[in-house]
A = this chain, B = another copy of it.
Amino acid sequence: MESTARDESRFLKACRMEPVDCTPVWFMRQAGRYLPEYRELRKSHTLLDLCRNPDLAAEVTLQPIRRFDLDAAIIFADILLPLEGMGVAFEFAKGEGPVIHRPLRSPGDVKTLRLMEPAEELSFVLDAIRVVRRELSSSIALIGFAGAPFTLASYMIEGGRSRAFQEAKLFMYSEPGAWHELMVKLATITVAYLAAQIEAGAQAVQLFDSWVGCLGPEDYEQYVLPYSQSIFERLDRYEVPLIHFGTGTATLLDLMKKAGGTVIGLDFRVRLGEAWQNLGRDVAIQGNLDPIAMLGPQDLLRGKVLDVLSEAASQRGHIFNLGHGILPQTPIENVSAVVNWVHQESRRVDDVQDEL
């Protein structure tokens, strides 16, 4: 049993809802600014430099794997990478996140968007995936990812991050034809991009619909679901786990499951057990510790980790993660502690259950 666990990733097993020796754990943005070795690299390279150099991207991807007993690596990249090839220039302004210089504002702007070819134009991501796979032990899975059409569209229309997503929603409401065209283009590119990542060696892929929680269920169903659904349907043939993630999605979870994904990613606003109960036990669950708890004192943090494990109640198909990306201020020792607690305590919960 132990040797099987070492041979094949317990992350992939949990995605497929197979029995595991303990709960697998990884963290969104685990390759990032909370790591001194990452900050060191960023002194001489921009974020986009790192993404575009396969060796550096692979190095950054592997940094957290060397430090912590994580069950999966996620390729270092950014969800906005496809935008440049579509004709939407952007940069990362210091401390402000992405800035898109000429946001989409009219149906005409959508018409001019190029259907870029990820396999060629983002070949550096695929090369980085190949490098990482060579370095990674078979017990640690490599996850690829892409932004979902709604979340990409929200950046393209807002011009950056937003609180209320007023421009994106107004575009969606006012220009339904152009919205459809935009979402179809983004879905087409996203399918090609994720398929290429799988072919390059990604063993699972996550669709980040990070900002879709700004919509109510009716809007999600009408303006988002068909496009996300078409992505999952077209990736189905690869038979790799497909993770569907968003934040603030408490009222959208059933529709997100309908759209697709073999694993649903939860944020910290929902009780994991209740959400899983409502979604049905035929889907795996990833989540859902509040990333801000990772900055708190360890006794509080440990309590919150145990709460998540207890909500998951040792059901098959739980992957421990945060409710959103790890924060730059997160202390290294807390990351290490959480990984160990998840492994140890989920093993113990199982033991207790076996005894009962």
- Contacts from A to B (Cβ < 8 Å): 161, 163-166, 169-170, 173-174, 213, 215-219, 248, 250-251, 268-271, 290, 292-293, 295-297, 300, 307, 327, 329
Contact = CB atoms under 8 A, between A and B. Distances in A.
Contacts of A218: 271, 307
A67 B300 CA distance: 52
Given A215-B269, A248-B248, 12 more contacts: A163-B163, A166-B292, A170-B292, A173-B293, A173-B295, A173-B296, A174-B296, A213-B269, A216-B270, A218-B307, A251-B269, A251-B271
A51 B270 CA distance: 38
A216 B269 contact: yes
B296 A170 contact: yes
A290 to B, nearest CB: 6
A204 to B, nearest CB: 26
Ranked nearest first, the 10 interchain pairs of A and B with the lowest CB-CB distance are A173-B296, A250-B250, A169-B292, A250-B251, A216-B268, A173-B300, A216-B269, A251-B269, A251-B270, A166-B292
**Contact residues of A: prevailing secondary structure:** loop
A14 to B, nearest CB: 22
Nearest to A167: B292
Contacts of A219: 290
A295 B216 contact: no
Nearest to A295: B170
Contacts of A217: 269-271
A161 B292 CA distance: 17
A163 B271 CA distance: 21
A270 B250 CA distance: 9
Given A218-B307, A270-B216, A270-B251, A327 B174 contact: no
Nearest to A275: B251
B216 A290 contact: yes
Nearest to A300: B173
Contact of A295 (B165, B166, B293): B166
A161 B169 CA distance: 22
Contacts of A250: 250-251, 269
Contacts of A216: 268-271, 290
Given A213-B269, A271-B216, A292 B163 contact: no
A166 B173 CA distance: 32
